[in-house]
Structure 1
């Protein structure tokens, strides 16, 4: 049975972060360390015919240069602008930069496709999906709304850059860098250097901004490791942001074309959804996944989904802040709002009337969820009853247009097999060796709260270790499965330790807390190691987890049920009637993430999600230069993101009702969920204020005048 409500505790890593003691990949300093800088390709597609490093080798401080043929990933065949063609290693970062700039490269260029709208771009069809009979529904539908919704190429734009430090010690490779999946990095390096598992350690104490771009092994990591091996000294590389824009994964541009049908009595009956995205030919980011989460949002029984990829010659797109449900949800939630107007219904009431209970993809029940609770609580806090339905009917005294908007989002509740080792000592200390990665989302605090609530220990002397392969396997902290994987294992460790101590202490346990009791029993420590699996998994999932296999993950569809996290977003938008300037003075965000394990960090994630959503809706766009297939705004000066002055009052809330099906705690993920629904809520509020439907992001002043 899921555990009771958790109390609110302070972030366990807050003090270290405020004092600058939290160590990220680029913070590592080792004796005798060298510095590296990549030399990026200057063309989008073709072949390196000549790489001249003579001038670079004369730069004072340059120690070594890796070029074409020195390592497998330094290839003469160029697939995208920014692909590394050489690495310069020097005694200082300044010398490494000067040396990299002195490398001269000659190319044989080939024709390339820079964007999905390029004249020579072609669509490649992907497998579709169908449930019910959408064609018949649309032939007889009383009401249909439709539109094509464009989401641009966007980058993660995390503050922390890609930083890697590599060092070799007696044939053992140690790598320090921020990443979301240290086990996958370890496997990649084992293959690259033909090393055994015990010959590589990856340490990621703090990830920094991940948002999806740090889930795959980075191109720079094996290059830095090889540079450290050939120079026999530690090597650090911190990738400049301009290079990062051209190498790191990003959100692909997509066009979501959607139709929504309703009956004469106002029942939503069917969806037709076509998703097309930019992708590289061998890309693994699926275009036929956009319909999956949104089809589980409301009780709409008929769906026909098609999809395709337009192959382009840039770096590989991947998961980014909301991944598939964000672009698809922008389309669906915009059309739900439009349909509400067409039916003469309140947009909140229309959503409440269509509570989903069945997963139409797997034909099994949805685990009990509380999206309608999110909508009702959000409407109450927001004051939705003050809304005047007619577009353009609400104004401030100075003539400013006022719009109210609502939208929802959902994301699959994933989980992975995991393990935890818990040791309580008589000297007053406690250590939990867990699995996962602290990306700033508060996973350390969530795990700490489980231990503190379950055991009578000294909370200020609790140490939690994760993100380090020398401690054991580490679950990939991606797709909202981090907390849902490590917290149930931590709870199992707590329960197991309590049971073991009860056996040890007998019927008359000594007085004091657990540390004092151990001392009185003359036991220096008590330790347990446990494993936990997702619903439907067996011991093979633990083995897959231990060996870095993909079989350790599960969900959101489990045997007999499907579990999702849900959110409702309410925003108020103000628009200057003369200039079209858009402001968001307030927002309300309410989420259903099952049991809330760390209330403080969960609320923090939700605040961040509203900022993400605002930024994606009104600010962010990666500008691709079609002449070169490069990015024109590859820095934080011109890649515009939301700033503090953009964000008004944000009220967040959590339903905090456990999902008893998914795990022993009843906790579901929330990482990417928190931004979903914000962009369509803003677009819907803009329509309410102006009567103009905007079907592209980011929404800018020129779209309103």
Structure 2
């Protein structure tokens, strides 16, 4: 496996984005486009009793109003079949903000006015919308257990037992969720702001009872996603409107509606009991998790334990949990997903235990290292967490830290706290199907499964192709997110780069071999385009397929059929994870108790770094979002009506430039020898995991006060 460092290339799509040339779904205006707007339900649970649309149809420019009667009945549910597609318009109301009608008009203004004059009536039912609601239903989840944690903890020399709370949060990517649908020549073309084109294709086909071969989805450029832009209810609504009107239909969902219809990070409660022996070795952990969830939501509670159990050499673990079923929309994936809130709790508890046993937090973690998967005993393919810890401590100057809480102050009287925490995230992968075509006129096209959401996937692919092939970099096209170009996997969970880069490497190798066979020993000067032109070959094309460890051709077939074929990081013969170590300083004003974070050092082990510039960008973003998770973000819910109160960027508080200090990034850049031929591992998620705990630990070091509830606010410290 090569260990040659990749050059720090500029983003291949940077100029197109800053010039406004990159086309997002909301940018598209096709000839004769109609505009759509949904009518959201104003109750949290119940049913429609009437849906008068005459007032909307009288608004100049309104063409049509779609109601539940305009959609086919949902397909029958089968326990053995695929999951059902998202519903379309229904008379049963499951959550506040659920769309009950779709207004279609010649202009956006007319569509909005038409939606506003529709006044449905409802038969309301009692509902539960927060975990404390009287009607909330508690559903126990499956356990994750090995060893005997209760027995181990009963004999521990020191234990810590605490409860930690992480709030409901919404994604808020800058690009709103947008759909443009066109029905033409008996086929449906959908332009969507999505990270899952093939899943969208299958969901729309299922919801509208269409042959999937007639549905095509393009999501070439997505302006932020973070887990929110997978399959949306609105897509089938807009597609149906395009079919019924025979014209393109466009819907850009307002942010306030997205708060109520798209997935979000669930509020969680974590009860942790952790113990160590007299030597400071962790002997056991009990971790109970409860999360808010919709009545039929799928976001699995046991996944909160998946990464925690592999952070250190834990020999005894008991993980339990429950869903608290509420009358809200589905919760779901958000950057850092399960580990993000879980590690706020777990790494805070680790810090508490280190303090209780009078051990330095860094040394405590180093002493509890592991080289095997604690759950199954399999080797870890690579683990450079200790290197992250040592390098982060060196850069931060951790040796100068006074261990006594409240003992460090600034010249202006501000309390200084130094805290740290670690992160871990699975390094999963998916099958990939790719086509590489080089022509004699100077153009190269690489089509593959995957979506560009700003994380730098195109740049990583370009880094591989341009390093291995002598082609014109200015005319390299990388086709992503288009179901006509290649079957598309959902790009999420930090499996994007480690899925596409091995395929790009294999395609480049196969192309070099094909060129060598074609030339048959002839020496021709110039790049590959010139070589093809010299022998009068219009183009040369190769196709490759790759699978993850332990996968076979069945996984490729699942991908071709639009299914979900992810290979998780616990493979048949080894386990693979990415790691991070975060060190940060907080300064707390002595009177106002305002918290600032002037500097952060974050070091990540993500295997081989393919695109240094976009990799560093991922870590910057993860650190900033982690600070936001710790100090700013929380979705406010009105328990009287079941709606969200701060449903815009004016009231949903996120960091601004003044909140962000110096952030120093380090990447270990050591290839993983087993995960894939490229040696890469995931980075986007792990860069955020652990930051919240590092903030809380730093606040404790500054004040001596443990804050176990996020976001940490001034009132917690007064």
Q: Give the Cα–Cα distance (whole angstroms) in 1 for the partners of residues 246 and 141 of structure 2.
A: 48
**Matched position secondary structure for 2:710:** coil
1:109 corresponding residue in structure 2:
124
1:272 corresponding residue in structure 2:
286
1:397 corresponding residue in structure 2:
411
1:180 corresponding residue in structure 2:
195
Q: Is the 8 A contact 1:617 1:682 kept in 2?
A: yes
Q: Give the Cα–Cα distance (whole angstroms) in 2 for the partners of residues 122 and 519 of structure 1.
A: 69
1:573 aligns with 2:597: no
Alignment of 1:139-178 (within 5 A): 139-178=154-193
- State the shift of 1:695 in Å: 0.2
Q: Give the Cα–Cα distance (whole angstroms) in 1 for the partners of residues 480 and 303 of structure 2.
A: 31
Q: Give the Cα–Cα distance (whole angstroms) in 2 for the partners of residues 134 and 391 of structure 1.
A: 31
Alignment of 1:56-455 (within 5 A): 56-71=56-71, 72=73, 73-215=88-230, 217-455=231-469
Alignment of 1:478-489 (within 5 A): 478-489=492-503
Alignment of 1:655-694 (within 5 A): 655-694=668-707
1:609 aligns with 2:622: yes
**Matched position secondary structure for 2:142:** strand
- What's the CA shift string for 1:412-451, capped at 9, x where partnerless? 0000111111112222221111220000000000000000
TM-score normalised by L of structure 2: 0.97
Q: Give the Cα–Cα distance (whole angstroms) in 2 for the partners of residues 584 and 30 of structure 1.
A: 47
Q: Is the 8 A contact 1:2 1:664 kept in 2?
A: no
Q: Give the Cα–Cα distance (whole angstroms) in 1 for the partners of residues 449 and 563 of structure 2.
A: 15
Q: Is the 8 A contact 1:378 1:569 kept in 2?
A: yes
**Matched position secondary structure for 1:148:** strand
- State the shift of 1:508 in Å: 3.7
Q: Give the Cα–Cα distance (whole angstroms) in 2 for the partners of residues 512 and 410 of structure 1.
A: 46
Q: Is the 8 A contact 2:448 2:487 kept in 1?
A: no
**Matched position secondary structure for 1:558:** coil
**Matched position secondary structure for 2:433:** strand
2:511 corresponding residue in structure 1:
497
Q: Is the 8 A contact 2:137 2:326 kept in 1?
A: no
For residue 630 of structure 1, the aligned residue among 639, 643, 657 is 643
- What's the CA shift string for 1:541-572, capped at 9, x where partnerless? 2111111122x320211110010011111111
Q: Give the Cα–Cα distance (whole angstroms) in 2 for the partners of residues 501 and 120 of structure 1.
A: 68
- State the shift of 1:58 in Å: 0.7
Q: Give the Cα–Cα distance (whole angstroms) in 1 for the partners of residues 132 and 579 of structure 2.
A: 34
Q: Is the 8 A contact 1:475 1:482 kept in 2?
A: no
Q: Give the Cα–Cα distance (whole angstroms) in 1 for the partners of residues 287 and 349 of structure 2.
A: 12
**Matched position secondary structure for 2:420:** strand
Q: Give the Cα–Cα distance (whole angstroms) in 2 for the partners of residues 48 and 519 of structure 1.
A: 66
Q: Is the 8 A contact 1:413 1:563 kept in 2?
A: yes
- State the shift of 1:111 in Å: 0.6
**Matched position secondary structure for 1:364:** coil
**Matched position secondary structure for 1:69:** helix
Q: Is the 8 A contact 1:362 1:557 kept in 2?
A: no
1:557 corresponding residue in structure 2:
570
2:477 corresponding residue in structure 1:
463
- State the shift of 1:54 in Å: 1.3
- State the shift of 1:329 in Å: 0.6
- State the shift of 1:287 in Å: 1.2
Q: Is the 8 A contact 1:3 1:664 kept in 2?
A: no
- State the shift of 1:620 in Å: 0.4
**Matched position secondary structure for 1:422:** strand
- What's the CA shift string for 1:71-98, capped at 9, x where partnerless? 2521111000001100111111111111
- What's the CA shift string for 1:129-181, capped at 9, x where partnerless? 21111111111111001210000110001111111111111111011111011
Deviation larger for 578-587 or 280-289: 280-289
Q: Is the 8 A contact 2:434 2:486 kept in 1?
A: no
Q: Give the Cα–Cα distance (whole angstroms) in 2 for the partners of residues 121 and 202 of structure 1.
A: 38
Q: Is the 8 A contact 1:249 1:317 kept in 2?
A: yes
**Matched position secondary structure for 2:68:** coil
* Residue correspondences, number: 703
Q: Is the 8 A contact 1:417 1:485 kept in 2?
A: yes
- What's the CA shift string for 1:79-123, capped at 9, x where partnerless? 000011001111111111110010011111101001011133232
- State the shift of 1:184 in Å: 0.4
Quote the RMSD (CA, aligned, Å).
Answer: 1.1
2:17 corresponding residue in structure 1:
17
For residue 582 of structure 1, the aligned residue among 581, 591, 595 is 595
- What's the CA shift string for 1:358-403, capped at 9, x where partnerless? 2223332221210111111111111111111110111111111001
1:39 corresponding residue in structure 2:
39
Q: Is the 8 A contact 2:3 2:670 kept in 1?
A: no
**Matched position secondary structure for 2:141:** strand
**Matched position secondary structure for 2:634:** coil
- What's the CA shift string for 1:194-221, capped at 9, x where partnerless? 3333311101111111110112x10100
For residue 620 of structure 1, the aligned residue among 624, 633, 639 is 633
Q: Give the Cα–Cα distance (whole angstroms) in 1 for the partners of residues 590 and 222 of structure 2.
A: 43
- State the shift of 1:523 in Å: 1.8
Deviation larger for 553-562 or 437-446: 553-562
- State the shift of 1:3 in Å: 5.4
Q: Give the Cα–Cα distance (whole angstroms) in 2 for the partners of residues 312 and 582 of structure 1.
A: 34
1:474 corresponding residue in structure 2:
488
Q: Give the Cα–Cα distance (whole angstroms) in 1 for the partners of residues 116 and 376 of structure 2.
A: 55
1:600 aligns with 2:613: yes
- State the shift of 1:281 in Å: 2.1
Q: Unaligned 5+ residue runs, structure 2?
A: 74-87
**Matched position secondary structure for 1:179:** coil
- State the shift of 1:2 in Å: 4.5
- State the shift of 1:344 in Å: 1.2
- What's the CA shift string for 1:515-543, capped at 9, x where partnerless? 22222222222211011111111122211
Q: Unaligned 5+ residue runs, structure 1?
A: none
